[in-house]
Amino acid sequence: MKHLFALDYLLRIAYSRVKGNVKWRDFCHPEVAEQIRKKEISRMVKFFYRHKLIVFLAVIGLALFQSASWANHSWGKYHWARTINPFTLKTGDNVNSSWDSYLNTTVSDWTASSVLNLSKVSGQGGSSCTPTLGRVEVCNGSYGNNGWLGIASIWTAGGRNRNHIVQGTVKLNDTYFNTAQYNTPAWRNLVSCQEVGHTLGLDHQDENFNNANLGTCMDYTNNPASNQHPNQHDYDQLVTIYTHLDSTTTVSAGIRSKMPPAMNDIDFSSRATWGKMVWKSPDGHVALYVLDFGNGNKVITRVIWANPTFEVPEAPHRGAK
């Protein structure tokens, strides 16, 4: 709706400029703007009637822009830098036997993408799931009754790696996966697939728990039976994210970074360490946190809550997405 108001305002400015009777600075003054609005509304209607083709095109353009941004479900601009496609991303296996088969499924699910391959390697995360430059560490553990089933975190470094993922971690919370409700192959597949998908740069396709499943692990649901794996839209989105090539790479072991050491030393089990909540879904079940170390050095954390009735605690400062 606010886009309509913005469009309305822009059209009004365009109209007044074309008619040449209003100065730019007048728009800065709310009272003047209000007078203009009242006085000129009928003349505007006539003007737009005469120029209805332009208005029509503007509305169509806005609608296309809107649907393009809905269809896009990449996670901001974040992606791994690489010089070739398909690229291979090492996936550190820090999970125990209760997760091995699910991690294998996740690795092969995402490797089906035409632009990337995941290769499972032995984990370097240790008990606290410490990140390693150039790879994703996947870990499980009883992280406690803290509300989350799984979390995915990505790190960006400053300079030319401002939008480049330099490392990632996924944590799967056995405190919930050991309960009857979540100890099912469908829940394990959905969460493992979704959290690893986040570390590739993908966002959710849908965040409503109660609507029909889209057939992708990137879709929130109360019944994961048909949402255990990626769908074609996820693979298409990965192609969109990774079509361009970079002049440098963040997926090799040899990369260096000037990230502050503290960035690698965070215990993500508790919400208190995730940084500022920058976005929360309208129903409060999905949230995104950013821990900002300045100069493009960030840790971004996505959370999937165990219980849809769990309310995300309000952050002290809430911004836009």
CB of 111 to Zn ion, least distance (A): 20
Q: Collapse the DSSP code of 123 into the 3-class scheme (helix H, G, I; strand E, B; otherwise coil) and give the result.
A: coil
Give bridge partners of residue 283 from the DSSP assignment: none
For Zn ion, the closer CB: 32 or 255: 255
Give bridge partners of residue 168 from the DSSP assignment: 136, 154
For Zn ion, the closer CB: 36 or 303: 303
User: Which amino acid belongs to residue 6?
Assistant: A
Question: Which listed residue (109, 174, 234, 246) binds Zn ion by CB under 5 A?
Answer: 246
d(C-alpha 43, C-alpha 49), whole Å: 10
On the 0-12 / 13-18 / 19+ scale of CB atoms within 10 A, 168 is buried
Site for Zn ion in 184-203 (CB under 5 A): 194
d(C-alpha 13, C-alpha 115), whole Å: 45
Q: What is the Cβ-side half-sphere exposure of residue 253, based on CA atoms within 13 angstroms?
A: 5
For Zn ion, the closer CB: 140 or 194: 194
CB of 32 to Zn ion, least distance (A): 45
Closest-by-Cβ residue to Zn ion is 246
Q: Is 271 in the site for Zn ion (CB under 5 A)?
A: no
CB of 181 to Zn ion, least distance (A): 18
Size of the site for Zn ion (CB under 5 A): 4
For Zn ion, the closer CB: 14 or 86: 86
Q: Is residue 196 within 8 Å of 302, Cβ to Cβ?
A: no
Among 97, 98, 120, CA closest to 109? 120
CB of 274 to Zn ion, least distance (A): 13
CB of 168 to Zn ion, least distance (A): 13
For Zn ion, the closer CB: 124 or 163: 163
The interface region with Zn ion, picked from 89-97, 242-250, 262-270, 308-316 by CB under 5 A, is 242-250
**Peptide bond between residue 86 and the one before it cis (omega within 30 degrees of 0):** yes
Q: Is residue 170 within 8 Å of 199, Cβ to Cβ?
A: yes
Question: Which listed residue (47, 221, 302, 312) binds Zn ion by CB under 5 A?
Answer: 302
The interface region with Zn ion, picked from 26-34, 250-258, 271-279, 299-307 by CB under 5 A, is 299-307
CB of 289 to Zn ion, least distance (A): 12
For Zn ion, the closer CB: 193 or 263: 193
CB of 244 to Zn ion, least distance (A): 6
DSSP designation for 90: E
Q: What is the Cβ-side half-sphere exposure of residue 204, based on CA atoms within 13 angstroms?
A: 21
For Zn ion, the closer CB: 44 or 287: 287
Among 190, 214, 246, CA closest to 71? 214
Which residues would be at the binding site for Zn ion (CB under 5 A)? 194, 246, 302, 304
